[in-house]
Structure 1
Amino acid sequence: MNISQKDLEIIMQLIMYSGEAKGLAMKAIQEAKRGDKGKADELMKQGHQTLVKAHQAQTSMLTQEAAGEEIPIQLLTIHSQDHLMNTITFLDLAKEIIELYNR
């Protein structure tokens, strides 16, 4: 089964936004480590906003499937979902780490 251009774009958005959100959370941890709580909080806010974009990409895939459209389940599709789940976990952990640095 081949992935359509539309599906490929959605999958790549999911990977891209997830990676960007994770990167922002990592930068937030580094800022908290340096003692810049304000910058850390701003980066985490940006990370969550970017995560919303990843969720929107995922939701478009789920909506397609719910409408009866076939979503190709290939390694790239699974990889994109893996990125999203890892990013969600990473943001949760980053929040806790930043809180510890702020003490």
Structure 2
Amino acid sequence: MDKDKRMQVVMGLIMAGGNAKGSSIAAIQAAKKGDFLAAEKNLTAANQALNQAHNVQTEMLTQEAQGQKTPVDLYLVHAQDHLMTAIAFKDLAQEFVDVYKRIEENH
């Protein structure tokens, strides 16, 4: 993979992670206001962004398995870190939405 293509992939991972985290934050904020439809839509958007990133990672892993080595540099490390943080944040956002739903049901 040439350098330009690789940077597109890295930036795609960073953008997907950022989009997923942003949607997760929006889901928590919506649930806090009692707007569970918006919360669920935002969680769906977060999952879609993470699925896009997962597809990119799968392609990279497939290329690696086929002998096409991926150079690991700070850009790729940052992209992976950003993505893993977004995944954890989305999981926590789902928990927050569930808690807010439970609180709403008990009032």
TM range (shorter): over 0.9
Deviation of 1:13 after TM superposition, in Å, equals 0.5
1:23 corresponds in structure 2 to 22
Q: Deviations over 1:43-78 (max 9, x none)?
A: 101110111001111112112211111211101111
Deviation of 1:89 after TM superposition, in Å, equals 0.6
Deviation of 1:36 after TM superposition, in Å, equals 0.2
Q: How does 1:1-103 map to 2 (within 5 A)?
A: 4-103=3-102
Deviation of 1:28 after TM superposition, in Å, equals 0.5
What TM-score does the superposition give when structure 2 sets the normalisation length? 0.89
User: Which protein shows a greater Rg?
Assistant: 2
In structure 1, how many angstroms separate the alpha carbons of the residues matched to 2:63 and 2:7? 13
In structure 1, how many angstroms separate the alpha carbons of the residues matched to 2:10 and 2:66? 18
Deviation of 1:102 after TM superposition, in Å, equals 1.1
Letter in 1 for 2:86: T
After the TM superposition, which segments of 4 or more aligned residues of structure 1 sit over 3 Å from their partners?
A: none
Letter in 2 for 1:85: M
In structure 1, how many angstroms separate the alpha carbons of the residues matched to 2:35 and 2:52? 26
**Partner secondary structure for residue 72 of structure 2:** coil
Question: How high is the sequence identity, in percent, across the aligned residues?
Answer: 46
In structure 2, how many angstroms separate the alpha carbons of the residues matched to 1:60 and 1:9? 14
Runs of at least 5 residues in structure 2 that lack an aligned partner in the other structure: 103-107
In structure 1, how many angstroms separate the alpha carbons of the residues matched to 2:67 and 2:10? 18
Runs of at least 5 residues in structure 1 that lack an aligned partner in the other structure: none
> Number of matched residues?
101
